[in-house]
Structure 1
């Protein structure tokens, strides 16, 4: 994930900063407890595509 892109991307739901998790290829929003997929290097920033995170995953 390009660091410059990560600096400007925010959660589409709450506008919080996102954390990139390389192992799972996801961008994580901790306040919303959502993980947005990164497919072929492209972040999918749609709330409908995000998966809810469990407490253990945070």
Structure 2
């Protein structure tokens, strides 16, 4: 099962309200402006600022 594309299109970064890009494999949503990734767990985007992972740390995983 995959993320609902309509949902992904309306989601914005909770911190800056910027656009989010879905990562390949649908493992996270990246905010280029904040340079963070909001993880997707069990097909549910975790859209909490405190749960965001800096992009440079995400890429090391």
Which bin holds the TM-score, normalised by the shorter protein? Answer: 0.7 to 0.9
How many residue pairs are counted as aligned between the two chains? 55
CA distance, structure 2, for counterparts of residue 18 and residue 27 of structure 1 = 6
Q: Bigger shift: 19-28 or 31-40?
A: 19-28
CA distance, structure 2, for counterparts of residue 3 and residue 24 of structure 1 = 11
Paired position in structure 2 for 1:17: 19
Give the structure-2-normalised TM-score. Answer: 0.81
CA distance, structure 2, for counterparts of residue 22 and residue 40 of structure 1 = 15
Give ranges in structure 2 of 5+ residues lacking alignment: none
Give the structure-1-normalised TM-score. Answer: 0.85
- Cα deviation, 1:1-42, whole Å, max 9, x if unaligned, reads 211001110000000110011336000000000100000000
Paired position in structure 1 for 2:8: 6
More helix by percentage:
2
CA RMSD across the alignment:
1.4
